[in-house]
Structure 1
Amino acid sequence: MQRTQTRFRHGALTAGAAVLALLAAGCAKVSAGTQAGDCRDDGDWSGRQEAAWLRTAVAFHRPADGAGPSYEEASVVVRPPRTGDVRVLCRPLDVQVEFWTLTARATGPELSFVLRYGLSADGSRTRTVAFPSSLATGQDATCTRGLVAAYAGRPLAGGELPRVTGDLAAAGDADVRFGTERIGGHRLLPARDSARCDANRSKPGPAPTGSAGWDIYHP
């Protein structure tokens, strides 16, 4: 009889331990699920998806101030998204904010690197990057404009760098092309000396090398 009671107690204890283990495992899963539900899973995002998120988070404050004597009030702001899924990202994104100058040349706009600033963003706080004062006005009466872009991931490689199609003086944001889908946003800044760009546009083209009519000495 005593052996039977001992076996019963042992079985009850074993069953109780198993129930407690299952409950603990269940609670752990619920806790993990709750933590995962508090943030937005971005572990498998492509460059295009990262750019789409960044597009809702990046803003360019007062870029038109570049037309004045300095960019003192202009900045790029990466803030928590205000539309769509506004949860914090589970894995912060590497974000690059990069500045260039574009100078009008006979062969087309010439791109020059100015500054690149790297930061981490997950939508939990606001990050602000001021425009560099070294965005040049151009030399030798050339038409020069600034360009700024915010993009996800590593710094741009050679084939991903921006280019401007058409006349630099008249170009807008839509005329800037990048060789990558990682761009969250960009701005082509106004010339700080618009007279130089206007002068470049008003220059007459080269005179034709030959006459369209017959030469008087033509046989």
Structure 2
Amino acid sequence: MSRLLAARAARCPRPALFRSRETMHSTQTRLRHGALTACAAALALLATGCSKASADAQAGDCRDDGHWSGREQAAWLRTAVSFRGTVDGAGPSYEDASVVVRARHTGDGRVLCQPLGVQVEFWTLSARTTGTETSSVMRYGLSADGSRTRTVGFPRGLPDGQDGICTRILVAAYAGAPLRGRELPRTTRDLAIAGDMDVRFGTERIGAYWLLPPQNPTACTPDRPTADPSPTRSTTWDIYHP
């Protein structure tokens, strides 16, 4: 008897009320699924847009250098400075030689948020009976942030050693204030044979330097005569250009 009733119940159609509830539930499920899919797509687009905007903002931003130490300033300057002309020190003058602070150098190509104060200084090194005499000839101040190239020519009238005294020219580009006291350069070998590696500065602010070969090599020989210290030191030209 129970089997017969179950068979009849299976053949009987379900009431419309139950069918309506099932249809409504299915529709709500599809709507919720569609809404979740749309939200996920919108979030993905938003994330992509924000990421691109952030990258664009970073690419167009300046490089924060306000907290840099002297060593960090020198590291930035080292990749920007180059020396041009008078490679071998030959010639009657240094009129074709220059110090160049390039724009957009290697590494992080963004300009600096705060322009860096740079000093380009020239010294003469002369062999004396008491050792090497160092005299500042010219100091040229400028500001650099990587936005443009700055060029500083060698000063006129640099000694060429034709007076028989072993004389060399040293040029350096460094960050910050002019060098003072123990920060000034010195050589650790005989001036006649000294190279760039034999020059020492008492500071970490030096970006780049160059000890030029003597223009009169015969005056810079190991058995050369030495002269007494000069009575007066060279006058320094202090030029500042922002």
Q: CA–CA distance in 1 between the matches of 2:192 and 2:120?
A: 24
Unpaired segments ≥5 residues, structure 1: 1-29, 205-219
Match of 2:134 among 91, 100, 111: 111
Match of 2:208 in 1: 185
Q: CA deviation at 1:46?
A: 0.3
Identify which of 120, 126, 137 aligns with 1:97: 120
How do 1:130-145 residues align onto structure 2 when only pairs under 5 Å count?
130-138=153-161, 140-145=163-168
Equivalent AA in structure 1 for residue 223 of structure 2: S
The alpha-carbon deviation at position 141 of structure 1 amounts to: 1.6
Q: Secondary structure at the residue paired with 2:220?
A: helix
**Structure 1 residues 203, 194: CA separation in 2 closer, same or farther (over 3 Å shift)?**
closer
- Please say which structure displays the higher CA radius of gyration: 2
Q: Which residue number corresponds to residue 216 of structure 1? A: none
Kindly state the Cα deviation for residue 47 of structure 1 after the two structures are TM-superposed: 0.3
- Distance in 2 between the 1:89 and 1:203 partners? 48
Residue 35 of structure 1 and its aligned partner are, at CA, apart by: 8.0
The root-mean-square deviation of aligned C-alpha atoms, in Å, is 2.2
Match of 1:5 in 2: none
Which residue in 1 is equivalent to 2:192?
169
- What is the aligned partner in structure 2 of residue 67 from structure 1? 90
- 2: CA distance between counterparts of 1:96 and 1:155? 7
Q: Which residue in the other structure is 1:40 paired with?
A: 63
Q: Which letter maps to 2:197?
A: A
Runs of 4+ in 1 over 4 A off after TM superposition: none
TM-score norm. by structure 2 comes to 0.66
- Percent identical pairs in the alignment equals 70
Give the match for residue 229 of structure 2. none
> Deviation digits for residues 74-107 of structure 1, max 9, x if unmatched?
1000012432111100000000000000001122
Count of equivalent residues: 172
Rounded Cα–Cα distance in structure 2 between residues aligned with 1:158 and 1:138: 27
Structure 1 contact 56–81 (Cα < 8 Å) conserved: no
The aligned counterpart of 2:172 is 149
Matched position secondary structure for 1:120? strand
Within 5 Å, give how 1:6-25 maps onto structure 2. Answer: none
TM-score normalized by structure 1?
0.73
Asked if the contact 1:65/1:71 (under 8 Å) is kept, the reply is no
Q: Is the 8 A contact 1:114 1:134 kept in 2?
A: no
Distance 1:49 1:66 in 2: 31
- Structure 2 unmatched runs, 5+: 1-52, 226-242
How far did residue 139 of structure 1 move?
6.7
Indicate if the aligned counterparts of 1:98 and 1:116 stay in contact, CA closer than 8 A: yes
In structure 2, relative to structure 1, the CA distance for the partners of 1:186 and 1:63 (3 Å cut) is farther
- Whether contact under 8 Å (2:80, 2:105) holds in the other structure is yes
Q: Match of 1:160, as an amino acid?
A: E
Q: 1:203, CA displacement in angstroms?
A: 4.5
